[in-house]
Structure 1
Amino acid sequence: MNWAVIVHGGARTIAPAMQARNRTGCAAAAGLGAACLASGASAVEAVAAAIAALEDNPVFNAGYGSVLTSAGTVEMDAALMDGQTLDVGAVACVRRLRHPIRAAGALLRAGPVFLCGQGAEDFAVEAGLALCSPEAMIAPERAAGQGHDTVGAVAMDACGHIAAGTSTGGLSGKRPGRIGDSPLPGCGLLADDTLGGVALSGEGEAMIRVTLAAYILHGLADRGAMEAARLLPARMARVGGEAGAIVIDRFGSFGVAHNSRHFAVGLQTAGMAGPIGLIDAGEWEVQGHGR
């Protein structure tokens, strides 16, 4: 079976001066995930690698690029789900992890599904991950930034197994301790080999209320990836707010939909010479992927 990977850099309005960096950043992350899959790595490993690259890029609201809370600190959330076993690992409100997605990945086989704050950081150390100072996670260009965006990835490996992951700094100026949709299975992400995988970005409180990831994933039972992704606008209309979705179905097809102005995406399949980056679904349609 051919492999596939798709990543997103967040559902939001992207200033013209930042569009090239969003495009290339997403394409580069997809390329890293693709390199993993081409070498025989699992979908879980590919998703973690792609998201770690986005966490290192201050363009995106995750890891080093995370926005600040109302207290001027960084608090990050991340989750990773294995569609073969339905194992989930999630962390929230972590401040001293360069790559929260790696801590989420370490939780996949550890027993607990969700750890937050100090408990999550203590577990990460036990799992062999290094801590950094909270100040080291504040990127100068993000210190005064606004946003509610998230990064995410979905992959299918050569064995047909699917994984999904998310990572975020959350809502700019949020109350310390606030947790959005990103680390919550069924809200910000979901993966099941029998259906596919979904990773989302957007206004977390609204997405939690409509369990958006579960809604889209279960739409794959009788729809293709693009049709399922396009369930997003009507579902979000129930509660209002921006959102974006990336989808891979069990056949390896992609779906992308958003009601935000932009939604940066990178993707690659085994049949492509290299990754491509897109800024919104309009570019997706122009290139013929949306039919």
Structure 2
Amino acid sequence: MSRPKIKPDCTELIAVHGGACAKYDPSLSEDCRYVCGTGSVEKALTDFERIEKFNCGFGSHLTIDQEVECEASYMSSKNMSFGAVGAMSNVFHPSRVARHLAHSNWWKQRRLLHPLILVGRGAEKYAVKNDFPTCNPEELISNAAKDSYEKYLHRMLHPYDTHDTVGAISINTNTMEAESGTSSGGIVLKHSGRLGHSCVYGSGTWSERRQYEEPFDQFSERTISICSTGHGESLVKADFCRGIATRVLDDEEGIMYSEIIREFIREKMEPSARFGGIALIVDKFKERMSLEFLIFHNCRYLPAAVRGRNNQIRVFESKFDPDNCTDDKFVIESFNM
């Protein structure tokens, strides 16, 4: 009798979220499950950008001038590479352009300053130059986006009652390197040319690996990958993702990561601002490793999914009722992976 094969641990942890939502929709979490299982951060974001119901790529919210202006960002803990694009109206997958910008050596080879962010026509020209699929701006406008525009323009509803920025994060448990990214159409009825938190270094996403010296010439490692969604201007003011990551990486007292995030939100976020986010944190010392997934927000619904070391995908339907909550006007959930 042959022995059963032991399935090796999956080394690439990945988590995604479908953006801050104003109401519960179970189909969004199932879409997150699908997107989470398709591969890397880049692949997950391009899948989101193809699904009309999410606010990114095709189906993005319209500006006050009835146009689509997409934005996206990408970050890697390796060399702290970062790239972002904004106010793009002719590219199917802005997240791919952001990742390409982060890793491009074009400027280094010419001894030029490597830009972190490209916007508008400059970003669109960069996409064309590097052979990314482009389109007419009208091809990114969905019927649902048109309906949303009309509804919010004439009924004067709150623009944050719609879907928001989507995100994906990952950590490789072998190398302890991380990647993270976001993609967004921005809020409905936004002013043309407005850039949200996705484009801002440290606000929409952050991935960082740190090594710590231990006794007897030993070393431990900690890596965090995090992305956010919600009220962009407030997230920018708080330096949201980098601020949380720095506190997590600076902690030497063993404080629970959920408490670190809780204190940051209490101190830095405006009470009226809507926000959300997910994070993966991995601690490693010799053969011991701990993995934690956190989801935190103050929106009514934040769909998410995680693929852990067993290669199984877990779906999270995180809900929050602002009319029936604790002293904290937000929720934080933590899961060991």
Kept in 2, the 8 Å contact 1:167–1:182? The answer is: yes
- The answer to whether the 8 A contact 2:258-2:334 is kept is no
The letter of the residue matching 1:245 is G
How far apart, CA to CA, are the structure 1 residues paired with 2:70 and 2:334? 36
Query: How many Å apart are 1:109 and its aligned residue?
Result: 2.2
1:204-219 matches, cutoff 5 A: 204-219=232-247
* Structure 1 residue 281, shift from structure 2 partner: 5.5
CA distance in 2, matches of 1:65, 1:224: 38
Shift of 1:238: 3.4
Larger Rg: 2
CA contact 1:236–1:243 (8 Å) conserved in 2: no
TM-score, normalised via structure 1 length? 0.86
Which consecutive residues of structure 1, in runs of 5 or more, have no partner in the other structure?
34-45
- Which letter maps to 2:335? H
- What SS does structure 1 have at the residue aligned with 2:246? helix
Structure 2 counterparts to residues 1-291 of structure 1, below 5 A: 2-14=11-23, 16=24, 19-33=25-39, 46-110=40-104, 111-145=114-148, 147=162, 149-157=164-172, 158-194=174-210, 195-221=223-249, 222=251, 223=255, 225-231=257-263, 233-235=265-267, 237-238=269-270, 240-251=272-283, 252-273=291-312, 275-280=313-318, 289=335
Richer in strand (by share): 2
The worse-fitting range, judged by mean Cα deviation, of 238-247 and 256-265 is 238-247
Q: Give aligned pairs, total.
A: 272
TM-superposed deviation, 1:32: 1.1
Code of the aligned partner of 1:9: G
SS in 2 for 1:187: coil
For residues 149-168 of structure 1, the C-alpha deviation after alignment (integer angstroms, 9 at most, x for no partner) is 10001101242210110110
Q: CA contact under 8 A between 2:84 and 2:198: conserved in structure 1?
A: no
Normalised TM-score (structure 2): 0.75
Encode CA deviations 1:187-238: one digit per residue, 9 max, x unaligned: 1111112241110000011111111112211121225554444346414543
Aligned with 1:205: secondary structure? Answer: helix
Q: For the residues of structure 1 that align with 2:132 and 2:13, how far apart are their CA atoms?
A: 28
| d(CA) in 2 for partners of 1:216, 1:56 | 30
AA in 2 matched with 1:32: T
Partners in 2 of 1:103 and 1:155 — Cα distance? Answer: 19
Percent of residue pairs identical: 27
User: Which amino acid in 2 is paired with 1:266?
Assistant: A
CA distance in 1, matches of 2:49, 2:261: 25
| Structure 2 gap segments, 5+ residues each | 1-8, 105-113, 149-158, 211-222, 284-290, 321-330
- Partner residue of 2:152? none
CA distance in 2, matches of 1:225, 1:271: 23
Tell me: CA distance 1:91–1:224, structure 2 relative to 1, closer, same or farther (3 Å): farther
Q: Partners of 1:161 and 1:29 in 2: how far apart?
A: 21
Secondary structure at the aligned position of 2:147 is classed as coil
Asked if 1 retains the 8 angstrom alpha-carbon contact of 2:57 and 2:94, the reply is yes
Give RMSD over aligned pairs.
2.2
User: Measured at CA, do residues 231 and 152 of structure 1 come closer, stay the same or move farther in structure 2, by a change above 3 Å?
Assistant: farther
- Measured at CA, do residues 232 and 49 of structure 1 come closer, stay the same or move farther in structure 2, by a change above 3 Å? farther
